[in-house]
Amino acid sequence: MKVLVTGAAGFVGHFTALALLRAGHQVMGIDNLNDYYAVSLKQARLSQSRALGLEFTQLDIADRQPLEALFKQHHFDQVIHLAAQAGVRYSLENPHSYIESNVVGFTNLLECCRHNNIGHFIYASSSSVYGLNTKLPYAASDGASHPASLYAATKRSNELFAHSYSHLYGIPTTGLRFFTVYGPWGRPDMAYYTFTRDILAGTPIKLFNNGDMQRDFTYIDDVVESIVRLLDHPATANTDMADQTELCYRDPSSAAAPYRLFNIGNHSPVRLGEFVATIENALGIEAIKEYYPMQPGDVQATFANVEPLANAVGFSPATPLAAGIAEFVTWYRSYYKV
């Protein structure tokens, strides 16, 4: 197939492009290469994927006309949309960048899919959409109506926009709610990355909510495996229930339209203290810890129910945290020559 990967210089986009190229697909990557974090890291990722045959164009998905021209020129079979303005806390400081990328850009892509007969639109959502939900584990069949940040709200809006296009135009859309993705070549604003940097530098690490936090950490290889398997499973209409109105209330992760939502998580939440200890063990250095109250927009715990993913593609993430962190630390020491 010919596949468009947006955010191809980003963390998940980079590894997804590599996997598709190794599987023999033609891959076009786009990215705006913004400076949310070091552009040099994005360029280093791109150099790897270009060496395997990635065709890359620097392009901002919020810029509609160049995006439309790209679709008309290349005739993509499927689109994997991984470009977004990420980060919960950054959304408190720069809300407009989230609207431009995550709302305007997302709409532009849906319109391009609509007018170019795209066979499947896979897009990154986020576990943050669960917001103030307290029922654990989070299930995609649960409601998600109380986001705790603008970032989460933009991701939830993506899911709703996708449903409308699936319903109106029959575009198969599959939304992926990622749970704290980590690994080599990851995002420098993520906790595992900043903790590693600060521990090596002898700088105190900040533990919020006085250390009472849990996260479902998901290794990058497992995320990519989930995405690649879903390529061959375009969303289909849920026809199991005669009363489709009732279906919308009982299971908003599917619909009478070709629309699906999946959690992509390790379904094994880890407490913050254990997380820090895992990094300390991999580095062989004890962290200096400072404790702070909960940050605005954050949530206390995440925990993914991934049974629907396993039923759909015969796979669910399972890499142990210690193994994944060891891989990251090895990469970090090599990349930064620490």
What would the two tokens of residue 109 be?
A: 């892509």
What would the two tokens of residue 189 be?
A: 């604003």
Half-sphere exposure of 74 (CA within 13 A, CB side): 26
For the beta carbon of residue 19, count every other beta carbon within 10 angstroms.
Answer: 17
232 close to 80: Cβ distance less than 8 angstroms = no
Give residue 178's pLDDT: 98
Give residue 91's pLDDT: 87
Calculate mean pLDDT across residues 262-274: 96
> What is the sign of the dihedral through the CA atoms of 114, 115, 117 and 118?
negative
Name the catalytic one among 36, 90, 138, 151: 151
Name which of 33, 94, 31, 19 is nearest 61 in CA terms.
Answer: 31
Instruction: Tell me the pLDDT band of 226, cut-offs 50, 70 and 90.
Output: very high
260 is a domain residue: yes
Quote the CA–CA distance of 7 and 9 in Å, as a whole number: 5
* pLDDT greater than 80 at residue 248: no
Domain that holds residue 78: 2-182+218-267+303-318
Give residue 246's pLDDT: 56
* pLDDT greater than 60 at residue 242: no
Instruction: Tell me the pLDDT band of 84, cut-offs 50, 70 and 90.
Output: very high
Burial class (CB in 10 A: 0-12, 13-18, 19+), 72: exposed
Give residue 120's pLDDT: 98
pTM (2 decimals)? 0.95
What would the two tokens of residue 51 be?
A: 């060496």
Give residue 150's pLDDT: 94
281 is a domain residue: no
229 close to 315: Cβ distance less than 8 angstroms = yes
Name which of 51, 53, 57, 52 is nearest 9 in CA terms.
Answer: 57
Helix (H) or strand (E) holding 322: helix 321-336
Give residue 256's pLDDT: 87
276 is a domain residue: no
* pLDDT greater than 90 at residue 247: no
* pLDDT greater than 70 at residue 283: yes
> What is the sign of the dihedral through the CA atoms of 96, 180, 313 and 80?
positive
The reply to whether 291 belongs to the active site is no
109 is a domain residue: yes
Lowest-pLDDT choice from 86-95, 182-191, 318-327:
86-95
198 close to 336: Cβ distance less than 8 angstroms = no
Half-sphere exposure of 277 (CA within 13 A, CB side): 6
CATH code (residue 37): 3.40.50.720
User: Which has the higher per-residue pLDDT, 239 or 99?
Assistant: 99
For the beta carbon of residue 243, count every other beta carbon within 10 angstroms.
Answer: 9
* pLDDT greater than 80 at residue 272: yes
* pLDDT greater than 60 at residue 278: yes
Give residue 244's pLDDT: 55
Asked if residue 137 has a cis previous peptide bond (ω within 30° of 0), the answer is: yes
Pairing mode, strands 289-291 and 270-271: unpaired
Split into its structural domains, the chain has a count of 1
Give residue 189's pLDDT: 94
At residue 56, what are phi and psi to the nearest 5 degrees? -120, 140
Instruction: Tell me the pLDDT band of 88, cut-offs 50, 70 and 90.
Output: confident
> What is the sign of the dihedral through the CA atoms of 224, 127, 105 and 151?
negative
* pLDDT greater than 90 at residue 70: yes
The predicted-structure confidence for 15-68, as pLDDT tens digits, reads as follows 999 999 999 999 999 999 999 999 999 999 999 999 999 999 999 999 999 999
Q: What is the mean pLDDT of the chain?
A: 94
237 residue type, one letter: A
Give residue 300's pLDDT: 85
* pLDDT greater than 60 at residue 243: no
Name which of 208, 206, 188, 207 is nearest 197 in CA terms.
Answer: 188
165 close to 101: Cβ distance less than 8 angstroms = no
* pLDDT greater than 60 at residue 245: no
Collapsing DSSP to helix, strand or coil, 64 comes out as helix
Calculate mean pLDDT across residues 295-319: 93
Quote the CA–CA distance of 188 and 222 in Å, as a whole number: 20
Give residue 241's pLDDT: 52
Alpha helices by DSSP H, 174-241: 191-201, 220-231
* pLDDT greater than 90 at residue 139: yes
Give residue 212's pLDDT: 86
